Structure 1
Amino acid sequence: MTNPQQAQTPTHKPRPWIDLLVSIVIPSVILMKLSGDEFLGNTWALVIGLAFPLGWGMFELVRYRKYNFIAVLGVISVGLTGGIGLMELDARWLAIKEAAVPAVIGLAVLLSTRTRYPLVRTLLYNPSVLNVDKIHASLEAKGCVAEFEARLLNASYFFAATFLFSSIMNYVLAKWIVVSPSGTQAFNEELGRMTLVSYPMIAIPSMVMMIAIFWYLWRTISRLTGYRLEDVMAAHLVHEHEASKPSDRASGSK
Structure 2
Amino acid sequence: MTSESDNAINNQKPTHKPRPWVDLLVSIIIPSVILMKLSGDEYLGSVMALVVGLAFPLGWGLFELIRYGKKNFIAVLGLISVGLTGGIGLLELNAQWLAVKEAAVPAVIGIAVLISTRTRYPLVKTLLYNPTVLNVDKIQAVLKKNNTEAEFDARLQKASYFFSLTFLFSSIMNYILAKWIVTSPSGTQAFNEELGQMTLVSYPMIAIPSMIMMIAIFYYLWRSIRRLTGYSLEDVMAPHLADKVEEKSSGS
When the two structures are superposed, what TM-score results if normalisation uses the length of structure 2?
0.80
The size of the alignment, in residue pairs, is: 238
What residue number does 2:106 align with? 102
- After superposition, give the CA deviation of every residue in 1:39-93 in whole Å (9 maximum; x if it has no partner): 46xxx53334445543333444345567432332022101111111111111111
Distance 1:199 1:59, change over 3 A: farther
1:54 equivalent in alignment to 2:62: no
- After superposition, give the CA deviation of every residue in 1:200-235 in whole Å (9 maximum; x if it has no partner): 221222122111101110111011101122222223
Q: Structure 2: 5+ residue runs without aligned partners?
A: 1-7
Please state how far the C-alpha of 1:119 moved relative to its aligned partner.
1.4
Please state how far the C-alpha of 1:164 moved relative to its aligned partner.
0.2
1:123 equivalent in alignment to 2:131: no
What residue number does 2:5 align with? none
Distance 1:115 1:21, change over 3 A: closer
When the two structures are superposed, what TM-score results if normalisation uses the length of structure 1?
0.79
Distance 1:191 1:105, change over 3 A: same
What residue number does 2:205 align with? 201
Please state how far the C-alpha of 1:171 moved relative to its aligned partner.
0.6
RMSD: 3.2
| Counterpart residue identity of residue 6, structure 1 | P
Give the number of the structure with larger relative contact order, counting CA–CA contacts within 8 Å between residues 6 or more apart: 1
How do residues 1-254 of structure 1 correspond to structure 2 at under 5 angstroms? Answer: 4-6=12-14, 22-23=30-31, 27-31=35-39, 34-35=40-41, 39=42, 45-51=45-51, 53-63=53-63, 67-242=71-246, 244-245=247-248, 249=251
Kept in 1, the 8 Å contact 2:182–2:195? The answer is: yes
Q: How high is the sequence identity, in percent, across the aligned residues?
A: 62
Distance 2:122 2:29 in 1: 32
Distance 2:126 2:59 in 1: 22
Distance 1:120 1:10 in 2: 15
